[in-house]
Amino acid sequence: MRVLGIDPGLTRCGVGVVEGMPGRPGKLIAYHVVRSEPDEDIAQRLLHLDRSLAELVALHRPDSVAVERVFSQHNARTVMGTAQASAVAILAGSRAGLPVQTYTPSEVKAAVTGSGTAGKAQVTAMVTRLLSLDAPPKPADAADAIAIAICHIWRGGTRAKIQAAAIAAARRSSR
């Protein structure tokens, strides 16, 4: 399975592409950071992000897209920008006809480090170790996006099976 993981942000949006299967070491295909200037018009920033993500989806041809879910932050302006970038990321996958799944930061941290409260340095170190990389991916937005992709590979397969079983059970009971 090839997953395009996205750590949404307006100034820096991390994108990581990982191939793998649940329970097995993955392989890093690529990582990118889509950047925009904070003083640029918001519409232009979102358009740039939309076009960049569409290009990356077309380039890497993932089987699915995983996006970090927006969580409550103290700074309303930051959370608004992150939410807008997240919506663009979800649309990029949907527009390409791909399944899209969102994960909380705690889910991602727990998947790659074993602790939902791990710090950025721990996540980066585990991403480096899990994928047998020569050097940690930089900046942290890229490492986070890669971690999101790993989380989806390891947990998304299980989620998909549970959803499929629930749908099948609902169909049987409605007959």
41's CB contacts (< 8 A; 6+ apart) are none
What is Dmax (Cα atoms) for the chain? 57
Decide if 141 is catalytic: yes
Which of 41, 68, 107, 144 is catalytic? The answer is 68
Which of 7, 37, 39, 63 is catalytic? The answer is 7
> In Å, what is the CA distance from 148 to each residue of 27, 83, 103, 141, 175?
14, 17, 7, 11, 38
Which of 37, 63, 107, 141 is catalytic? The answer is 141
Tell me the three state secondary structure of residue 40: coil
Q: What is the 3-state secondary structure (H, E, C) of 72-109?
A: CCCCHHHHHHHHHHHHHHHHHHHHCCCCEEEECHHHHH
39's CB contacts (< 8 A; 6+ apart) are none
Catalytic residue list: 7, 68, 141
